[in-house]
Structure 1
Amino acid sequence: MTRWSTFSHRLIRAIVLLAFVFFIVHAFRSDTLVYYVAPRMELWVKCLAVGMYVLAMHQLYLAVNDVISKRRITAMECSCSSHSHHQWKPSIVVAYGALLIPLVLAFTFPTAVLGSQMAEKKGLNLSPSSSLILSKGGDVGTPAVTNLTMQDETDPVFQSNDYTLPYAKLASNMYKEPVITISEDLYIESLTSLDLYQNEFIGKKVQIQGYVYRLDIMNDKQFALGRFAMRCCVADSVPMAILVEADNPEQWKNDRFAVVLGTLEQRKIDGKNVLTIVAKSMETQNSPTSPYVYGNPYFGN
């Protein structure tokens, strides 16, 4: 009885490990791994798949060897006959269930981009600069470093401290552009800089691409345009967006990918001042190959 219990546990472990390996390999070959982890984590996930495959083969070897040899494996069982480590205890069933449930969900539900429903649950981040630590008890108005000067004396001075200096430099560069284009490489950093220096950017033209999201607190002419920002994996992703006002918002359905060109103004949402693009033109586009945006590793260096 104990031998067959040992064999069943070995076999289940091998099957679970191989299922994870199959899922990772399938996601890699179908170019859907980007829906689950950030690009910088892909190498580690591939290495994990190799490690799981080795462990699965080891478990299969032990299972087959146990049946053939017909002897107990002393590394897994005690010499006493009063109990067995391989009984189907509730804790073991729960442990297997914790591994099997994600696999079942992964193979059952189609691979898709996180959309407006998840954005509503997580809450749209329309004020990305709120996550910055401005200074020890201070704010941007009392910077910890020298104010940044601009070549053009008509440009505003973007004050900063040790934490916000890279954003001040980016804001300075964006301010000089006739039309501010939010690129994918600096998506998070650009929206943070715009939010950090809202007053300086009012009246500036901006162009941004993203998915259409909505919240109940928005009026009929408003919606948000943005992307899910991912650090390591889909579990830590946060929807980052900017408010948009348009004359015909009804034609822009949720989760549609679009590009907006307009002028920056300021509106109140949930008691906070947020930058808002008053749309001059909007066009739909095909969804990008990489649906999420990531922090630029070279930003501030």
Structure 2
Amino acid sequence: MNDPRSIRAHYLLRAALLLGFALYIAHLSQQDALHYYVAPKLARWISLCPVPLALMAASLGLQALFGKSSTLCDCEHQLPRSVLRSTALYGLFLLPLLLGFVLPDRALGTAAAARKGVSLTYISPEEGREERFAASSPYQEEFAKLAEKLDKQPVITVHPEIFSETFGAIDLYKKQFEGKEVSVSGFLYREQGANGDSLAVSRFLVQCCTADATPFGILLDPGTQISLPADTWIEVRGKLHTAEFQGKAVVQIIPETITPVPQPVTPYVYSNADSVAAWDQLTDSPDE
């Protein structure tokens, strides 16, 4: 059995940690910064967490200060007896909490993309059929329908709401989109190589939280000259072109204009369950 005084001390430490996390989440919600860490659907639920966390902290604190020794529960687990072990245990929770408060809230950029490796393809290796925008599998049907709509545009605007789906359709039908004009925004990614820098306009695709964020990029033509630093948000307008990069056929953009733009409020992109319906809603053109 653990000593009641030891149990009270651990209760207070746990209450302080729970309260700290409640305050941190409330801070992120107040600063509208949750989207830097989790997807919007998940952010709505996480923003509610400060209330139950604060209630649990209050409950533990009250038990520690005013609870009878006979009612204190150690759940039949041996608590750390030394200061060193207690510091190691609670430090696992305290360190990320302190880093959250100290470090600035900002979007992932070139450093994270370099560690993860930027993906330049958006679909499985399976190619589309030779017929224009025909699907060779049920998986490709949505891409084929979206490709038909994209092909009718004089300039393909890559909307953040269907970023990966748009380039998925373009990637699947590279030949059909050769020479088409496109407009896309993202952060400038630079990768140093033996033949000079490789440049890409990039976005992070987030499924749940930034821990699973995947960097996707569209290469700019190797002859592109740009003096802007990495992580600058840019809007690129140019023509699509299929080229070979590191032994793979990838879509590139031959830029006509590159314009610095402000970082959007929501810098990440997310998968869309129905990209065709989303395109119709974004363009108000369901009959296209």
Structure 2 length-normalised TM: 0.87
Opposite residue 16 of structure 2, the aligned amino acid is I
Contact 1:221 1:248 in 2 (8 A): no
C-alpha displacement of 1:164: 1.2
- Residue 145 (structure 2) aligned to one of 165, 169, 176: 169
Q: How does 1:117-128 map to 2 (within 5 A)?
A: 117-128=111-122
Which of 180, 188, 195 is matched with 1:212 structurally?
188
Equivalent residue number for residue 6 of structure 1: 7
Read off the aligned partner of 1:169 and give its amino acid letter: K
CA distance in structure 1 between the partners assigned to 2:115 and 2:198 by the alignment? 18
87-96 vs 53-62, which moves further: 87-96
| Correspondence list, 1:5-84, <5 A | 5-66=6-67, 69=68, 71-73=69-71, 75-76=73-74
Distance 1:41 1:261 in 2: 33
Take 2:79 and 2:66, find their aligned partners in 1: how far apart are those partners?
17
SS at match of 2:176: helix
Two-structure CA RMSD over aligned residues (Å): 2.4
Pick from 221, 234, 246: which aligns with 2:210?
A: 234
Q: Is 1:109 the equivalent of 2:106?
A: no
- Residues in 1 aligned to 2:239 and 2:203: alpha-carbon distance in whole angstroms: 20
Select the residue among 168, 175, 178 that pairs with 1:199.
175
Q: What SS does the aligned partner of 1:263 have?
A: strand
**Corresponding residue pairs, total:** 275
Q: Give the one of 87, 100, 103 matched to 2:94.
A: 100
Deviates more, 1:38-47 or 1:6-15: 38-47
Question: In the TM superposition, what whole-angstrom CA distance separates every residue of 1:58-112 from its partner, at most 9, and x where no partner exists?
Answer: 111111123xx4x23353266xxxxx83343687654423212211221221111
Q: Give the fraction of aligned pairs with identical amino acids, expressed as a percent.
A: 30
Shift, 1:212, TM fit: 0.4
Q: Secondary structure at the residue paired with 1:105?
A: helix
Shift of 1:49: 2.6
Q: Is the 8 A contact 2:42 2:208 kept in 1?
A: yes
| Separation of aligned partners in 2, 1:294 and 1:32 | 16
| 3-state SS of 2:265 partner | coil
> Hey, what's the Cα distance between the residues in 1 that align with 2:37 and 2:170?
28
SS of the residue aligned with 1:128?
coil
Query: How far apart are 1:125 and its partner, in Å?
Result: 1.0
Paired residues of 2:206 and 2:269 also in contact (CA < 8 A): yes
User: The residue matched to 1:185 in structure 2 has which SS?
Assistant: helix
Shift of 1:297: 3.5
- 1:200-240 deviation digits (Å, cap 9, x = unpaired): 11111111011001223484464000211111111111111
Alignment correspondent of 1:284? 260
Unaligned runs of 5+ in 1: 79-83, 148-155
Which amino acid in the other structure matches residue 57 of structure 1? A
AA in 1 matched with 2:264? P
Would the aligned equivalents of 1:5 and 1:87 in 2 still touch at CA under 8 Å?
no
Tell me, in whole angstroms, the C-alpha distance in 2 between the residues paired with 1:47 and 1:189: 31
- Could you tell me how far 1:254 is from its partner in structure 2? 0.5
Tell me the SS of whatever aligns to 1:214: strand
1:283 offset after TM fit, Å? 0.6
Q: Distance in 1 between matches of 2:97 and 2:72?
A: 31
- Give the structure-1-normalised TM-score: 0.83
Rounded Cα–Cα distance in structure 2 between residues aligned with 1:222 and 1:74? 62
Report deviation, 1:300.
5.9
Is 283-292 or 84-93 further displaced after alignment? 84-93
Aligned residue number for residue 152 of structure 1: none
